[in-house]
Amino acid sequence: MDIIYRDENCCLITDKGPRENNEDFGAVEKVGEGYLIIVADGLGGHVGGELASKIAVPSFMDYFKHQFGKKGIEEIMREALKFAHEEILEYKELNPEYGDMGTTLVAAYIKDKVHVVWCGDSRAYLIKDGRIVRRTKDHSPVQRMVDAGEITEEETMRHPMRHIVSNAVGIKLKVDYEEWELGDYLMLSSDGLHDHLTGKEIEEEFYGGACEVAERLIKKALERSGDNVTVAVLKMSVKDEGRVVREAILKAGEKEEVREEEVSPSTPVLGLEVQSPNELPYSSPSLIRLKVSSNSFVENPELDLTYLTYYFDIFWRGEKLTSPKLQLPPLLPGVTLEEKLQLKPKYTGVFPLKFVLKAKESKIAKAIELRVVESLVTPSGEFTGLEKYYDILGLIGEGGFAKVYRARRKRDNLLVALKVPKKVDRHIGRLFFREIEAWKQVNDHPHVVKLLDFNTMPHYIEMELCDYSLSELLDEKGTLSVEETVSIILPILDALEHAHSKGIIHRDIKPVNILFKNDIPKLSDWGIAKVVESSGGFSYLGTPQYKAPEQFFPERFGHTDARTDIWQVGVLMYEMLTGELPFGYDLDEVQGRIRRGIQPKKPSNINPEARRLDGIIMRCLRFKKEKRFQNVSKLKVAITGKVSLETL
């Protein structure tokens, strides 16, 4: 199992099952005060299906995040699914060998309500009081038979057409949307789960923490499934699972109440000390220490851990205990025996525990209370191999394929930024390799974020830690003056000119990729940079509001080249000076204006101060590449001719 995302409320797990490739893909991110969860299941052969799901999920995620707060959730989600569809279509146009690929996709945004959008047969389920109360309807012939009363839900699991879908992202799009009230849990799944488990079998697993539920469901499905299985679970209600288990124990007649310490009056006098943290993570075993002593020789001391077995699996000296009674070595007078136990939680909640030490006619008991919480650290395995070299200090941000962390390098205590893939497969490995190869060629430029180190096993990129981004600067100030704009753009153009001289096109110039170190602007993120001599590319990536006409419609405007970056610089300057984007925020609006050749209004119509750069920006934004500045050098000359360098 691969844990893609985990926090105290939400968990996303995927397993390739018996197959060689995993065509499923998913993502979870907190947006605003809610969760955005996406699960996709690729179609079109091993490579094509795997690629389609990995195009659709980050495309949906990026569009949703960029539009969030600017319009209604339903509108954003419908548009995000359309955008993911267009991105796959564009990639297929550039790469005809992938002409059959597509993907199912289901996405949910959860805050005060549950907003669900989907295409295909990946599903969302709402669970309340242990029952499925809502679920999405598949876009499939089998679902139509169910709706017509021709077959039952149970019969769909044996129907020969159960794997056929009527609609898929990148093939034939159908967008369905529903809004649900909150429940106890929400689950999103690929058909590797729900094609093999009945509704009742799914309901039986909804208790405990989010990852606990997801793990049980995947294990159950894999007993029958020959497919990839992906499950995302969000626990919405705050129920004390510990209380539920404790109530079950009390019903069975066990006495729960324990005093802090019990000492029998008989000799020998025993000593027992328990050292444990107050909170334990659900995700992994935790160490507790016991100190045992006696005032006289005790041959066969026994430690009774019955109370712990209700809530934990217990490991002693590397072995899981099969009995709650632990036989300890002999105790010598005045000598303290130290023992270590590892506790692996079964549930989340608050648990009263009692440790009872017995010897002859004497006994002593120690009572403690432990809280088990969903782990707030990064998913297990994400930093495998890196802990020896870095202290991970916190998350800076994340994109479709990777997360960026603030970290301290242990060998010299240098603070760095660490880019780590969310998961590693053949496609992600190739993407990281492309980024490293492009970055190495431009790394000597003072206005490129420094690449400090990299590796492919484990996969990571170490880079200099910057102070803030242009996006943060614009959020704070709204707009910039002409002088401020030019003082930032000229160094970035220097970096682009250097990249172009190496045959590298950036293709993703936007505010979040302009970073500042000691107020010096630097260009970052070479993840979708294209080497001119190479074929293909990953032009499906990138934020739509900054994409050039040739990225949307290559059959009409040609393929990307250095002039693509010049278009994006034009969009960037327009936004810096006006606080607005020249072609709007809506995907359909941006594509529609470009398709129909509708030029934006001049920047000075919004901000009169921008008049000096009107002509330059509008030339950058010519639809035909031949009418833009033909290289960065000419753009730099034009800018410096309008704005005196002495004023910068």
* Three-class HEC string of 523-547: ECCCCCCEECCCCCCCCCCCCHHHC
Q: What is the pLDDT of residue 376?
A: 33
Q: CA–CA separation, 603 vs 611, rounded Å? A: 7
CA-wise closest residue to 195 among 130, 121, 137:
121
Residue type, 554: P
Q: CA–CA separation, 187 vs 628, rounded Å? A: 49
Last residue in a domain, options 464, 488, 514: 464
Shared domain for 11 and 95, answered yes or no, is yes
Q: Domain span at residue 418?
A: 390-464
Q: Does residue 380 form part of some domain? A: no
- Neighbour count for residue 245 (Cβ, 10 Å): 18
Q: Which CATH number fits the domain that encloses residue 316?
A: 2.60.40.10
Dihedral angle sign, alpha carbons of residues 189, 194, 199, 205: negative
Which residues in the chain show pLDDT less than 70?
Answer: 44-47, 238-268, 282-284, 348-350, 373-385, 399-401, 423-431, 456-458, 527-543, 644-648
C-alpha angle 105/19/540, rounded to 5°? 40
CB of 55 within 8 A of CB of 87?
yes
Shared domain for 118 and 217, answered yes or no, is yes
Shared domain for 231 and 278, answered yes or no, is no
CB of 229 within 8 A of CB of 206?
no
CA-wise closest residue to 106 among 187, 16, 200, 46:
187
Q: Does residue 379 form part of some domain? A: no
Shared domain for 432 and 495, answered yes or no, is no
Q: CA–CA separation, 48 vs 97, rounded Å? A: 9
Q: Is 143 helix (H, G, I), strand (E, B) or coil?
A: helix
Question: 403, exposed or middle or buried, with CB in 10 Å at 0-12, 13-18, 19+?
Answer: middle
Helices (H), 13-72: 46-67
Shared domain for 279 and 296, answered yes or no, is yes
Shared domain for 364 and 453, answered yes or no, is no
**Contacts for 586-590: CB closer than 8 Å, 24+ residues apart:** 586/67, 586/71, 586/79, 587/63, 587/79, 587/82, 587/83, 587/86, 587/544, 588/79, 588/82, 590/544, 590/545, 590/547, 590/552
Burial 358-397 (b: 16+ CB within 10 A, else e): bbbebbbbbbbebebbbbeebbbebbeebeebbebeeebe
Dihedral angle sign, alpha carbons of residues 488, 494, 495, 496: positive
Burial 557-574 (b: 16+ CB within 10 A, else e): bebbbbbbbbbbbbbbbb
Q: What is the pLDDT of residue 446?
A: 95
Q: What is the pLDDT of residue 214?
A: 93
CA-wise closest residue to 124 among 57, 191, 209, 221:
191
Shared domain for 175 and 258, answered yes or no, is no
Shared domain for 54 and 36, answered yes or no, is yes
Name the helix (H) or strand (E) containing 308. Answer: helix 306-309
Q: Which CATH number fits the domain that encloses residue 433?
A: 3.30.200.20
pTM strictly above 0.75:
no
**Residues contacting residue 12 through CB under 8 Å, at least 6 positions apart:** 3, 4, 5, 6, 26, 27, 28, 37, 39, 214, 230, 231, 232, 233
- Neighbour count for residue 49 (Cβ, 10 Å): 25
In the block, tokens 């606080």 appear at 579
How would you classify residue 45: left for phi > 0, otherwise alpha for psi between -120 and 50, otherwise beta? left
The count of domains in the chain is 4
- Neighbour count for residue 165 (Cβ, 10 Å): 24
- Neighbour count for residue 472 (Cβ, 10 Å): 14
CA-wise closest residue to 292 among 262, 270, 307:
270
First-to-last CA distance in the chain? 55
Residue 128's DSSP bridge partners are 131
CA-wise closest residue to 485 among 470, 500, 497, 475:
470
Name the helix (H) or strand (E) containing 81. Answer: helix 73-94
Considering only CA atoms, give the Rg of the chain.
Answer: 29
**What is the phi/psi pair of residue 136, to 5°?**
-70, 155
Q: CA–CA separation, 561 vs 297, rounded Å? A: 84
Q: Does residue 378 form part of some domain? A: no
Q: Which CATH number fits the domain that encloses residue 169?
A: 3.60.40.10
Last residue in a domain, options 202, 236, 270: 236
Q: Which CATH number fits the domain that encloses residue 528?
A: 1.10.510.10
Give the orientation angle of helix 562-578 with respect to helix 482-501, to 10 degrees.
170
Six-digit token string for 175: 């967008």
C-alpha angle 115/3/542, rounded to 5°? 60
Shared domain for 341 and 412, answered yes or no, is no
Residue type, 236: M
Q: Is 102 helix (H, G, I), strand (E, B) or coil?
A: strand
Residue type, 600: P
Q: Does residue 381 form part of some domain? A: no
Shared domain for 530 and 430, answered yes or no, is no
Shared domain for 122 and 148, answered yes or no, is yes
CA-wise closest residue to 462 among 451, 448, 447:
451
Q: What is the pLDDT of residue 457?
A: 60
**Residues contacting residue 245 through CB under 8 Å, at least 6 positions apart:** 310, 311, 346, 347, 349, 351
**Contacts for 112-116: CB closer than 8 Å, 24+ residues apart:** 112/182, 113/179, 113/180, 113/181, 113/182, 114/179, 114/180, 114/181, 114/182, 114/183, 114/186, 115/73, 115/74, 115/77, 115/177, 115/179, 116/177, 116/178, 116/179, 116/180
- Neighbour count for residue 624 (Cβ, 10 Å): 13
Q: Does residue 382 form part of some domain? A: no
**Residues contacting residue 252 through CB under 8 Å, at least 6 positions apart:** none
Q: What is the pLDDT of residue 267?
A: 58
Q: Does residue 441 form part of some domain? A: yes
Shared domain for 513 and 643, answered yes or no, is yes
Q: Does residue 313 form part of some domain? A: yes
**Residues contacting residue 150 through CB under 8 Å, at least 6 positions apart:** none
Q: What is the pLDDT of residue 574?
A: 96
Last residue in a domain, options 464, 481, 498: 464
- Eight-state DSSP code of residue 111: S
